Structure 1
Amino acid sequence: MTLDPPTILALTVALAAAAALYLAVEWRSVREPSLLFWSAGFATITLGSTLALLRSSGFLMIGIWFANGLLVAAHLLFLLGVARFTQVRLSRLWWLLLVAWLGMLMLPADLPWSKAMLGVQSLLVALPTLRASFLLRPHGKSLSIGAVQLRYVLLIHGVFYLAKALSVLIPGTLIDLAAFKGEIIQVSLVEGAMAIMLIALSMTGSERYRREQQIARLAARDPLTALYNRRALDLRAPRLLAQVSPAQPGALLLIDIDNFKGVNDLYGHTAGDRLLIALSEMIRSVVPRGALAARLGGDEFVILLTPASSEQIIELGSSLRDQFYQLAAQTVPTPQPVTLSIGANLFDQPPASLTALIEQGDTTLYESKRGGRDSIRLVDRRTMQAP
């Protein structure tokens, strides 16, 4: 089978339709809007490439102007998908590209205007494509190999169309859009088919990686407070505990809400949940960079940090207690005050296990509650003396 222009266009139709269908199926399962934009873009290419075949039968208005206008629209949809993927808001001025293309409808359909038509259309495709590649630039290292691939495929694709727009300025260049004649047109058809495959694969890889990352984040987070759960703490704590030494002590703070049941009894579990969320936000605001904070379950939370000092622990615990007491007293007043009890351990040797360390924290926390609640109890296990 000869790869003449109509054959290449037919191949392009098949590839674009397959890409549109696959991305639409992916969108139905994950409901990620970027997939929907990209699927719509490939569907638009499918329609445009199908209509382009009609130019050989003399339907120039549909086969040239309308078909090429759809190609511009498809790349705008790709740009919208990338903007959604990178969470960037685009200017509405980008829609002026379609208005510019409508202006091309005023041009006659004869051969002398083929160069102008190809030059303008190539430029209108290059601009959104290069912009999409630029939007992906800060995300290449942080997201996935697929995002990097998509960025460079779009960059090469955009540069190709920019070069094609400039090539029409070369004197003596044969460009006949009606009959698919001219090396520029034939090379563009081949490049378009290859670009469809590469762009579709890169888009799919990027979204799959993001979905896997989202699933991993959800599995590691407490669904109510978005702090780490116990499983995630078990996985991350060993690396932090391995850094503990006499020169760099570590600390574990076990935090429990006093009289929390009274909140649920008087105001309902929704109010209790709001209080847990508020406490988790307070914890995030006071823990230093590199520390671990997790919800162990119920109304019990843990903070693990290194390096640490007794002064830092007392300051951190007191700040939490003060903030929480004021919030609880204002929002959910109860006969018995809703406060925090904190049991803290300071140590300079890596513990036998995280479980053993939490058990020590439980003992210290119990001493804090037994001493009257609304307090912080610190045990300095570097000297085995309690202040």
Structure 2
Amino acid sequence: MHVDLLTLYFITIGTLLASAGLTFWEHRTHPNRSRSLGILAAGFGTLAVGCICALFRADMPAAIGAPLSNLVILSGYLLVLNSVASLSGRHYRKRSVGLLAVMALIWLAAGVPGQDVVWKYVSALPIALVSALTAWELLRCDSMKTLKTRNFAIAVAGIHALVYFCRTFLLPWWVAVEGPSVQLLASNITMYEGVLYSVLLPMTLIKLIREETHAQLVRESQTDYLTRLGNRRWFFEQGARLIAASAGREPIAVLAFDLDQFKAINDRYGHHTGDLVLAAFATVARDALGPQVILARLGGEEFAALLAGDDARRAHQLGAAAARRFATTIANPADGLGIAATVSIGLACFDEDAPPLADALARADLALYRAKSLGGNRLEEALAPERAAAD
């Protein structure tokens, strides 16, 4: 079925307006990305207005129709670029104004006699550059790097850029070789691809932001609000993956922490101070153990850490360092709270045959109970299973 150029224009305008409306609606449900989605909606709306101007440019004064249409369309692409850049806290405001000014000067210099060449070939170059920058901004957006839809969005923007680069650099040669009939074919190809762009890019960008919001909710559901460490659920999910990945290859160690006399701290200084003690321990433990260690608050004043490889081999040293640093920091009025607080630690080490995480943690807990029974403020290692059974 043949679809003429006029019909393609109407389809493109319709899809752009629908995309603008859908994106504007979405901006109300994503407060963290409301500004980006608002700019994106304005971009698609501006592109629709530009296409309407292009459709009726022949009815406008000769000196205005094509330049106005192109500048409005280019403004729409620049809004889309700024929307995507704002996802990373960047913008192209000054460069956008500069590019529009340069393009306006090109139209002015070309005059009415040169409008046909500028419309067919030259005007495609800034659109190609802006679309390529949009793909680049998606590629380097750190918050989107783990999201599955990102690569598809990059491909959509990248293919759009490629089409317009071809209009600038290949189409003049193609028309010279094959004749003017190729120009209509190229226009149809551009519009077909434009329809796909007007549908796919907004869909993928909205999907990206939805995925990001979902990922943030998942992270929050697995994060302890007070200490910003992982919670029990996160610890067991991440720990199970680490143990499975390390099975038969490297040692594993589990550290179980329990703050000594924590109820007495709450009773004497109040729950707010108790919360500060917990947060302080989380910070000290994270710094002492390192960012690669799986560290979580299991509940109350109980924490746990899972170490693998070289960290597991140094688990005793790392745990003892965390205990010393915590006691020193919390007692220092300048750096801490100026109160006495200590931590007891249980350590369970496994060479290359680590049991399930629940069993490994239970072994570390037994060592922790022994540390508490011996007066606290110490680190005890788990006994071998045979000796533990005998005891």
TM-score, normalised to structure 2, is: 0.82
1:60–1:109 CA contact under 8 A, matched in 2: no
2:337 is equivalent to residue 332 of structure 1:
yes
1:321–1:339 CA contact under 8 A, matched in 2: yes
1:145-175 superposed Cα distances (whole Å, 9 cap, x missing partner): 4211111221111111112123575476769
Secondary structure, counterpart of 1:252 in structure 2:
strand
Alignment correspondent of 1:6: 6
Secondary structure, counterpart of 1:320 in structure 2:
helix
Distance in 2, matches of 1:253 and 1:371, equals 17
Question: What is the CA distance between 1:38 and its match in structure 2?
Answer: 2.4
Question: What is the CA distance between 1:275 and its match in structure 2?
Answer: 3.6
Distance in 1, matches of 2:270 and 2:248, equals 47
Structure 1 pair 5–52 and aligned structure 2 pair: CA distance change class (3 A) = same
Alignment correspondent of 2:324: 322
Q: 1:368 aligns with which of 362, 368, 371?
A: 371
Alignment correspondent of 1:18: 18
Sequence identity percentage: 26
1:228–1:295 CA contact under 8 A, matched in 2: yes
1:116–1:168 CA contact under 8 A, matched in 2: no
Question: What is the CA distance between 1:198 and its match in structure 2?
Answer: 2.4
Alignment correspondent of 1:381: 384
Question: What is the CA distance between 1:14 and its match in structure 2?
Answer: 0.7
Q: 1:97 aligns with which of 96, 99, 122?
A: 99
Question: What is the CA distance between 1:15 and its match in structure 2?
Answer: 0.2
Amino acid at match of 1:19: S
Question: What is the CA distance between 1:183 and its match in structure 2?
Answer: 4.8
1:38–1:81 CA contact under 8 A, matched in 2: yes
1:251–1:308 CA contact under 8 A, matched in 2: no
Structure 1 pair 127–307 and aligned structure 2 pair: CA distance change class (3 A) = closer
Secondary structure, counterpart of 1:110 in structure 2:
coil
1:201-230 superposed Cα distances (whole Å, 9 cap, x missing partner): 322333333333223222222233232211
Structure 1 pair 50–367 and aligned structure 2 pair: CA distance change class (3 A) = same
1:270-305 superposed Cα distances (whole Å, 9 cap, x missing partner): 444344333223333333676422110122110122
Aligned residue-pair number: 378
1:107–1:113 CA contact under 8 A, matched in 2: no
Distance in 2, matches of 1:238 and 1:257, equals 25
Alignment correspondent of 2:47: 45
1:267–1:332 CA contact under 8 A, matched in 2: no
Distance in 2, matches of 1:247 and 1:113, equals 69
Distance in 2, matches of 1:134 and 1:105, equals 28
Distance in 2, matches of 1:363 and 1:161, equals 68
Alignment correspondent of 1:134: 136
Gaps spanning 5+ residues in structure 1: where?
176-180
Secondary structure, counterpart of 1:384 in structure 2:
helix
2:286–2:295 CA contact under 8 A, matched in 1: yes
Secondary structure, counterpart of 1:136 in structure 2:
helix
Q: 1:162 aligns with which of 161, 165, 171?
A: 165
Counterparts of 1:47-66 in structure 2 under 5 Å?
47-60=49-62, 63-66=65-68
Instruction: List, as ranges, runs of 4+ consecutive aligned residues in structure 1 with deviation greater than 6 Å.
Output: 243-247, 308-311
1:346–1:380 CA contact under 8 A, matched in 2: no
Distance in 2, matches of 1:63 and 1:106, equals 13
TM-score, normalised to structure 1, is: 0.83
Secondary structure, counterpart of 2:314 in structure 1:
helix
Gaps spanning 5+ residues in structure 2: where?
none
Secondary structure, counterpart of 2:43 in structure 1:
helix
1:20–1:38 CA contact under 8 A, matched in 2: yes
Distance in 1, matches of 2:283 and 2:91, equals 28
Distance in 2, matches of 1:382 and 1:51, equals 80
- Judge which range, 242-251 or 47-56, deviates more: 242-251
1:208-261 superposed Cα distances (whole Å, 9 cap, x missing partner): 333332232222222332322111223233344457779854322111222444
Alignment correspondent of 1:229: 231
- Judge which range, 88-97 or 65-74, deviates more: 88-97
2:129–2:161 CA contact under 8 A, matched in 1: yes
2:256–2:347 CA contact under 8 A, matched in 1: yes
- Judge which range, 64-73 or 131-140, deviates more: 131-140
